[in-house]
Structures are given as structure tokens and as C-alpha cells.
Structure 1
Amino acid sequence: MINYKHLHYFWMVAKEKSIARASERLNLTPQTISGQLSLLEETLGVALFDRVGRHLELTDTGHRVLTYADEIFSLGSELESIVHDRPTEPVLTFNVGIADVVPKSIAYRLLEPALHIPALVRINCHESDLDSLLGDLDQHKLDLVISDNQVPADTNIRGFCRPIGESTLTFFAAPKLADTFEQAFPNCLDKAPLLLPGNASGIRAQLQQWFDRRHIHPRIAGEFDDSALMEKFGQAGIGIFALPTAIKEEIEDKCEVIPIGEAEDLTVRFYAISMLRKVSHPAVTAITAKARGWLARGTAGL
């Protein structure tokens, strides 16, 4: 059986990333903590840390153990509150990763239904590139990943990918840039400055093919892995940019830009990726159910 005092020492070391700092927090000697960690590893039969120079890094198993330790000691805090007559409602933790190419407005609209399930939810959002998020998902540090791309075929991570909605794309421009256009959409895009999402985006290749089919050759003024940064450059009039039509009104208001045209034959899709085929987390159920109601072609549901 696991010695929970040893588990607590492991938890503190993992949080502090240092035996020395953990020993200060626990008011114990580093030798004592090191010895207790060794006993825990011996009990579990696995290594929990790798020593890299003077630093400790969690092994893959260590990451998994840390996830459980977080839940265990969170429940311990709740129990202590109840015992001391400080009633607290159980909190359901929802760890979600958002690919940085997903527009922030889309991410919020997708996650917002999780706040209305019949439970107190704490959402922990992590934003990064898809490869990094899939790595965290594989280590059970995330419950769900939201992306505009499916799991790459060349990865060894076997995540289950569910389409949760799609939208056409609308092109936007700052008013001062739009005033310079001499032709109607989409011909106004030819030789015009364009802001593109990075290669990691699921829509990047489709955009390039869309331009090629129409013999339109914009001037690439910038490429962005982060959609929020692309919006800022677009707001400043540096170039035209395309975002899902489903958030057209939000983009107009937030960025003070105007829509110059909708590409009805150009679709961006969003996916919910998990490690389990059947996901029981109520937040995931709420997200997937609500997304299909508003994230559709055009502005359905808005």
C-alpha cells in the first residue's frame, strides 16, 4: 500500500521542482525527503524522477502519478474544510488544451457550456502547439484537446478525434486598408497584403489551394502561429486576414475591422481530441453537444 506521507513529499518536490525547495516548505532535511522518495519509488517499482544536471524532471510515470496526487490532495483539502464546518461543494477539474491556432473567441464559445453543467467546474486551460498538447494528453495531463486539425498520421499517439463543428471563412480588413481596394471580392485580394495562419493550422493548405484555383496571388505580409497576434496585425491595417464566419460579428466589434467577403467554399473544421473513445467527463459532453448547435456553416446559431 502507498504511504501517503511519501506521496505528499513526492507531490511537493514535483511542484517545487527541487528537493531543496521542497525541504524548506516541509521543514525537513533534503536527506529525509530524498530517502522518502526512494521508498516511494521502491514501493511503486518505478522511477518517478530523472536527474538532469542539478534539476529533477518527472518521468512519464511521474507525470501520471502527479495527476493522481493533485486529485488526492485536492480532495484532502475539501475533507479538511468539511471537518472544520466549512462546507464546500466538490469541484470537478477539467484540464483542456487549446491549439494556439484556434481563435480565442472560438475557444471561449466552445468551452463556455462546461461552466453550466450541474457541478462546480474548474477549467484549467493550456495553450500550445498541437504536438505539445497531444504529448500532454498522452501523459493524461489533459482531458481534452481542441484543435483545427486532426491527430497527425505520423504521430505515435492514438487519440480519438471527434468533429465538433465547422464554419466558412470570412476575410477581414481594417477600414483604411479596405479603402484602397479597386476591385470587388475576391479579386481585391490579388497583390494585396495578406496575413496567414502558420503551417500548423488546418486551414493553411486550403487557403493556398483556394487562391490557386482563382489565380489570385496576394502578397504575404505575415505568418502567425497565434491567431490573436494575427488579429492585432490585421487591426493595425498590416494585412487582410481570414477567420471563421461563425465569429464574424465578434471580430468586427473587437478588432474594428470590416468583412470584405465570405469564402463559402472554404471550410475550417474544429475537433475534440481525447485518449478515450467514449468520454464520460460531463464537461466534454456539454461542449460537443452545444458546439453542433452554433458552430456551423455561416453564422448559424449566432
Structure 2
Amino acid sequence: MLNYRQLHYFWVVARTGSIVRACEQLSLTAQTISGQISLLEQTLGVDLFQRVGRQLELTEAGRLALPYAEQMFQLGNELETVLRSRPDEQQILFRIGVADVVPKSIVYRLIAPTMELSEPVRITCREDKLERLLADLAIQRLDMVVSDSPMPPHLDIRGYSQKLGECGISFFATEEVAQRLHPDFPQALNDAPLLIPGQDTVVRGRLMRWFAEQKLRPRIIGEFDDSALMKAFGQSGSGVFVAPSVIADEVQAQYGVRLIGQTDAVTESFYAITVERKVRHPGVVAITEGARNKLFSE
């Protein structure tokens, strides 16, 4: 059976980068820590560290083990915090997974209603690829996953998708870039330098089909899975970029750009995925109600 004290020593050494610093943090001798990690390696049948010159580096097995150890001790800290709280101070733990293709501004506005709940809520957010998040949802490491697509049918994972809402797409550019474009929309996009969402996003395919239908041929100069990075390039004047119309005012104010035009022929949708068909978690309820009654109804 795995010895969690030995695993903890491994985790601290990996995080601090050396046994010396781990000794300072744990108030233990180097011999104790080294000996316990050696016993852990014997139990697992793999080396977790290797010497490279005078440096101690993780092996491939160590790099594989580290994120598991981090999750285990993070959950342990959360458990301790919850159990040590007095009954009238206990928080509702709300673990949210966010698909990395969902714009951060949308994520914030979706989650914001949980801050207004009468019960104290402690939120943890983790961003990752959708399939990895759904795997954690299946084993109840997460309470909900926010995505731009519903539960993929090919995954052998039980889950239920609730559509939070959808909106059209808006196009933005700096004043300097905008002045070089055709004054009419969508003709303004023809031969325009364009920054678009990456291949993993649902909206990417819809945009390309719309361009073909409108007989538009923008010059695609950048593709981004991270919408914030795409906006940063757009803010620098690299080209026209897109964002959900529901946050158009926010994008203009935050990035100092101009709205070129917008279309409802291309829509972007957002979903809450849970393992329960009937939602009970107050955080999930707050998000779904806030999205449907306010964010996507405006």
C-alpha cells in the first residue's frame, strides 16, 4: 500500500527543487527524507529522481507522479479546512472545470452569481482540455464542467449537458486597423488580417463556413486556443479578432478596440456538464439560472 508520508516527502522535494530546501520546510534531516523517498521508490519499483551533475531532477516516472500527488494533497488540505471549520462557518466546496477554449470573460460572468449565494461558497477552478476534465467529473473530482460544446457522445462517461445560452459573434480591431478596412460589414473582412479561434473550438468551423457562404476571404494570420492571447494580439494591432457578442462592450472597454461588426449567423454556445440529471448543487443552480435569466437574456 502507498505510504502517504513518503509521498508527501517526494512532493515537497519536487516542489522546492532540492532536499536541502525540503529539510528546511519539513524540519527533518536530509538522511530522513532521502531514506523515505528511497523506500517509496522501492515500493513503486521506479526511480522518481535522478542526479544531473549536482542537481536533483525528476525522472519521467517522477513527472508522471507529481500532478497526482499535487491533487491528493490539495484535496487533503481542502478536507482539513472543511472539517476544522465550525458548523456555522463551513463553506460549500464548488469544484469547477473549465474547458480551455472558453473565453475567460464568459467564465467569470457565468461563475459570478455564486458569489451572491446566502451560503458561504469556496470555489476552485481548474482549466484543462475537455476530455481530461470530464474524466475527473466522472470520478467526482469536479462538480461541474463549463464547455463550448455538450457532452461528447463518443465518451464512455455518464454526464448531462445543460445549455446555458448562446450568442452571436462580434469582430473587433484597433482604430488604426479599422481605418484600413472596407467601411461596410461584412465586406470589411475580405482580405483583412484575421485572428481566429483554434481548431479545438466549436466556433472555428462555424466561422469558416460563414466566410465561404459570404464569399469572404480574410487573411488568417493567427490561430489561438487561448482567447485572451488572441485579444492581446488584436489589441496590439495585429489584426481583426472575434469574441462572443454578449461581452462586446466589455471587450471594447478592456482592450481599447472598435466594434467592426457582428453576426448572429455564427453563434457560440456554452454548456454546464454535470453527472446528475437533476441539479442539486447550489453553485450549479446559481450559474444556470444566472446564465439563462441575465447573461444570455440581455
TM-score range, shorter chain: 0.7 to 0.9
Query: SS of the counterpart of 2:133?
Result: helix
Equivalence for 1:42:
none
Matched-pair contact (CA < 8 Å) for 1:144–1:272? yes
2:126 is aligned with 1:118: no
Distance 1:288 1:233 in 2: 32
Distance 1:14 1:75 in 2: 25
CA offsets, 1:30-74, max 9 Å, x none? 59978x99xxxxxxxxx9x785644382898x8997676444322
Equivalent positions of 1:144-293 (< 5 A) are 144-293=144-293
TM-score (norm 2): 0.78
CA deviation after TM superposition for structure 1 residue 158, in Å? 3.0
Matched-pair contact (CA < 8 Å) for 2:109–2:295? no
Please tell me the residue identity of whatever aligns with 1:124: T
CA deviation after TM superposition for structure 1 residue 290, in Å? 0.7
Equivalence for 2:93:
93
Distance 1:206 1:242 in 2: 13
Equivalence for 2:65:
57
Distance 1:206 1:190 in 2: 17
Query: SS of the counterpart of 2:278?
Result: coil
Distance 2:294 2:27 in 1: 50
Equivalence for 1:75:
82
Query: SS of the counterpart of 2:211?
Result: helix
Matched-pair contact (CA < 8 Å) for 2:235–2:257? yes
Paired residues in the alignment total 275
Matched-pair contact (CA < 8 Å) for 1:160–1:273? yes
2:132 is aligned with 1:132: yes
CA offsets, 1:165-213, max 9 Å, x none? 1111111111111101124100111111111101111111100111111
Distance 2:94 2:145 in 1: 11
Query: SS of the counterpart of 2:177?
Result: helix
- With over 3 angstroms needed to count, the CA separation of the structure-2 counterparts of 1:215 and 1:59, relative to structure 1, is closer
Query: SS of the counterpart of 2:202?
Result: coil
- With over 3 angstroms needed to count, the CA separation of the structure-2 counterparts of 1:253 and 1:115, relative to structure 1, is same
Distance 1:50 1:233 in 2: 47
Please tell me the residue identity of whatever aligns with 1:220: I
Please tell me the residue identity of whatever aligns with 1:74: T
Matched-pair contact (CA < 8 Å) for 1:195–1:239? yes
- With over 3 angstroms needed to count, the CA separation of the structure-2 counterparts of 1:192 and 1:52, relative to structure 1, is farther
CA RMSD of aligned residues (A): 3.4
Unaligned runs of 5+ in 1: 1-5, 38-46, 83-87
CA deviation after TM superposition for structure 1 residue 14, in Å? 8.3
Sequence identity percentage: 36
Equivalence for 2:58:
none
Please tell me the residue identity of whatever aligns with 1:182: H
Distance 1:68 1:258 in 2: 44
Query: SS of the counterpart of 2:287?
Result: helix
Distance 2:226 2:287 in 1: 23
CA deviation after TM superposition for structure 1 residue 140, in Å? 2.5
Distance 1:290 1:219 in 2: 38
Equivalence for 1:43:
none
CA deviation after TM superposition for structure 1 residue 224, in Å? 0.3
Distance 1:136 1:17 in 2: 26
- With over 3 angstroms needed to count, the CA separation of the structure-2 counterparts of 1:282 and 1:16, relative to structure 1, is farther
Distance 1:262 1:64 in 2: 42
